[in-house]
Amino acid sequence: MSWVLGVDSGGSGLRIALGSTASAEPAGVTTVATTSSAEPVRTGPAGIDAGHLLGQLLPAVDTLLAQAGADSLSAITIGAAGMATLGDGLRAELPAALERSLGVGRLALAADAVTAYAGALGQRPGAVVAAGTGMIALGTDLTGWHRADGWGHLLGDCGGGAWIGRAGLEAALRAYDGRRGGSPALLSRMEAFFGPAPELPGLLYPRADRPAVLASFAPEVARCAAADPVAESILSAAARQIAEAAAAVCPPSDESEVALTGGLFKLGDPLLVPLRAELADQLPHATTVSPAGDPLAGALLIAAALATGSLRLPRDPRLLNALTQRDR
């Protein structure tokens, strides 16, 4: 029996899970206890703040270990939003800091899309679409990673919550102007949600959280879709964009699986019905499956695989940087 730790760091805060794994069960892990902090890890000019993450993580780990009656950890996986582009500080500082503080010799630093993949599909080939405010697709044939989109609301995230919300607001403003392509139904929902149409630019443009504000209107688009052809067409277009991203990264093997994870899919049938049709059309060789778990479960699974020497997911300097003592 050994103890492993999974960490999920994102915009809503920090989640931590302690798990146990038996060496006779490669990558098999049982969650023993979890804790969380609602304070997101800071990001500054140097990227994700390693000191701030450690300041939250280390006391929480001590508490979890004490609760479980455990005295050491075999492996840790830290999954973080922005790890690929903003994780240089974490990669430079965390291995030595965690070995010094916790005596951990095995550490994986993973992008949140990778932990989402591991949580959804484990260590099988396929593709995962992670969609909420944004949208990214990640796939692997277990020899390398393939990514599509995830470029942010100005350059991509096509089909994600901000993309749907922005399209719905554009259709509302077209109706307000009297232009073709407008939706009176979406105009009514927009004014109920945000206030008079002429005031929307002043409410939206100064906001630092514009993607989240745009995404907050996506459920209104879904509510209108059953009776409004413009709203329905927006969700059909979003489904096509999501399926295209999945098709771009999914391995061609008939063994490939595709999973959808993230809050966007809580929109339900207005999005999922056209998306299932698009996936069947664009990925006829792949099987669409329900995700087995979330990114925190994925972080714990990667830690267990690292502890038992059974990690099959591809290592990558930015997406999945897995280190053992001999690597340092």
What is the pLDDT tens value at each position of the chain, 328 positions in all? 789 999 998 777 889 999 988 654 455 788 888 988 888 887 877 788 888 888 888 999 999 999 888 888 999 999 988 787 777 788 888 888 888 888 888 899 998 889 999 999 999 999 999 998 889 999 999 999 999 998 888 898 999 999 999 999 999 999 999 999 999 999 999 999 999 999 999 989 988 888 889 999 999 999 999 999 999 999 999 999 999 999 999 999 888 899 999 889 999 999 999 999 999 999 999 999 999 999 999 999 999 999 888 899 999 988 998 887 655 4
> Three-state SS string across the chain, please?
CEEEEEEEEECCEEEEEEEEECCCCCCCCEEEEEEEECCCCCEECCEECHHHHHHHHHHHHHHHHHHHCCCCCCEEEEEECCHHHHCHHHHHHHHHHHHHHHCCCCEEEEEHHHHHHHHHHCCCCEEEEEECCCEEEEEECCCCEEEEECCCCCCCCCCCHHHHHHHHHHHHHHHHHCCCCCCHHHHHHHHHHHCCHHHHHHHHCCCCCHHHHHHCCHHHHHHHCCCCHHHHHHHHHHHHHHHHHHHHHCCCCCCCEEEEECHHHHHCHHHHHHHHHHHHHHCCCCEEECCCCCHHHHHHHHHHHHHHCCCCCCCECCCEEEECHHHC
Give the model's pLDDT for residue 24: 46
Give the model's pLDDT for residue 326: 55
Q: What is the pTM of this model?
A: 0.84
